[in-house]
């Protein structure tokens, strides 16, 4: 995973990065990994529910913290079974920010599939506008600090 990721989340068994044009996941144990272009995503949903409690022990104490699973279910056009990532250790705001990125990219892919041909200049302006919107949403959600937001915005605008 690289610094180009808009959001990077840790599920129970994988690290998942959301990029401008794709989702990448890598197993924390072993070498399994995958790349999912947004054009292959059919739908995405967030399913929250009770999960197994997290037990933390130290030398003198035992703490049991109830955990809420935050399962992101991604249905792909070419697969029968969806991909499921459980982000129970991540903040809800961060998971929601990742969901917003995917939903924007799905909407953009749908527009591009149904839109008449446009020149590369228009396509690039639309892509940058979408990227600015995503960056602003991440900043509003608290995923990006003011400084990170300004750097990302400057990087997008100087292209």
SS3 annotation, the chain: CCCCCCEEEECCCEEEEECCCEEEEEECCCCCEEEEEHHHEEEEEEEEEEEEEEEEECCCCEEEEEEEEEEEEEEECCCCCCEEEECCCCCHHHHHHHHHHHHHHHHHHHHHHHCCCCCHHHHHHHHHHHHHHHHHHHHHCCCCCHHHHHHHHHHHHCC
pLDDT at site 115: 56
**In this predicted structure, what is the pLDDT of residue 54?**
46
pLDDT the model gives residue 69: 65
Would residue 48 count as lying in a domain? yes
* Domain encompassing residue 21: 7-157
1 in a domain, yes or no? Answer: no
pLDDT of residue 67: 55
Specify the pLDDT at position 86.
Answer: 86
Tokens of 35: 């790349």
Distance CA 122, CA 138 (A): 24
2 belongs to a structural domain: no
CATH number for the domain including 37? 2.30.29.30
Q: Residue 70 domain-assigned?
A: yes
Structural domains of the chain, count: 1
Residues 6+ apart with CB under 8 A from 103: 44
pLDDT at 2: 64
Q: Which residues contact 138 (CB under 8 A, 6 or more apart)?
A: 6, 7, 97, 101, 144, 149
**Is 75 inside any structural domain?**
yes
pLDDT of residue 155: 83
Q: Note the pLDDT of residue 119.
A: 65
Q: Is residue 16, in this structure, part of any structural domain at all? A: yes
What was the pLDDT predicted at 61? Answer: 53
Taking 50 as the pLDDT cut, the residues of the chain under it are 52-55, 64
Backbone angles phi, psi at 45, to 5 degrees: -145, 150
């Amino acid at each position: 995973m690289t610094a180009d990721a808009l959001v990077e989340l840790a599920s129970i068994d994988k690290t998942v990065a959301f990029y401008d044009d794709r989702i990448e996941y890598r197993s924390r144990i072993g070498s399994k990994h995958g790349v999912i272009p947004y054009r292959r995503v059919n739908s995405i949903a967030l399913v929250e529910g009770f999960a197994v409690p997290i037990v933390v022990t130290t030398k003198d104490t035992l703490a049991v913290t109830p955990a809420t699973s935050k399962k992101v279910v991604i249905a792909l056009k070419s697969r029968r079974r969806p991909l499921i990532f459980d982000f129970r250790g991540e903040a809800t705001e961060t998971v929601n920010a990742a969901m917003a990125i995917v939903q924007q990219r799905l909407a953009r892919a749908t527009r591009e599939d149904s839109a008449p041909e446009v020149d590369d200049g228009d396509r690039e302006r639309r892509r940058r506008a979408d990227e600015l919107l995503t960056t602003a949403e991440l900043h509003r959600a608290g995923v990006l600090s003011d400084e990170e937001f300004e750097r990302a915005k400057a990087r997008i605008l100087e292209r």
